[in-house]
Homo-oligomer: A and B are copies of this chain.
Amino acid sequence: MTNPDYGRAFPLWREAAAEAWYRYTHHPFVERLGDGSLSREAFLHYLRQDYVFLIHFSRAWALAAAKAETMEELQAAAATVHALVHVEMPLHINTCAAEGISQGELESTLERTENLAYTRFVLEAGYSGDFLDLMAALAPCVLGYGEIGLRLAASAGVTPWRGWIDTYAGAEFQDACRTVGALIDHSLTRRLGEVWEQQPRWIRLCARFETATQLEIGFWDMGLQPHV
């Protein structure tokens, strides 16, 4: 299967973090979403933690808007915040409601350490660094889910988690991935020039991307340990 086309930086970052990227995108949690063997309990546990994750993830995109240097960056980041907060999160709440988890229950979810580690890493990268640090730390989640969604949509059998797959393989989310990919490329060019992959910062942005990918693996690991 061909890798999705989310711009120029993404395949380079993915390549630089190849081993971790594979473990993230082919994690047992992912495979079980695809073959239907993921238990409902594990899925609900994941949904609950993902609610907490989405709040902090939205905050990180809001921070990107605060750190934007151009009108285009500001609008792109603000549009992502809006999509997350006013579309994705209400959708998430509805999905949870359909599974019998009330919003009150979602809000009282105890944040797991693997979850906390990931979002605080992203936010701190953004606060201490600049817009690019945020992009590198935010990319694995957005673009990885896009890639996972596409792959599972093409390969998955009968699975109760088809809805999840369709969301991330769907045109709307894939569009969002391309938009984010373009934003990343533009923001790199603006700050590091056309050959950004030869700049000293590039290697550190690759490291940011890889650490975020490792933390995605930790998030899936947590997803398979509902009772801890």
Contacts and interface: CB of A to CB of B under 8 A. Distances in A.
Interface string A127-167: 11110010000000000000000000000000000000000
Main secondary structure of the interface of A (DSSP, over half): helix
Interface string A31-63: 000000000000000000000000100111011
A219 to B, nearest CB: 11
Interface of A: 55, 58-60, 62-63, 65-68, 71, 74-75, 77-79, 81-82, 85-86, 89, 107, 113-114, 116-117, 120-121, 123-124, 127-130, 133, 189-193, 199-201, 211, 214-215, 218
Q: How many copies does the complex hold?
A: 4
A53 B55 CA distance: 27
Contacts of A218: 113
Nearest to A121: B120
B65 A59 contact: yes
Given A60-B66, A78-B85, 13 more contacts: A62-B63, A62-B68, A65-B85, A67-B129, A75-B85, A113-B117, A113-B215, A116-B117, A116-B121, A117-B120, A120-B120, A127-B127, A128-B130
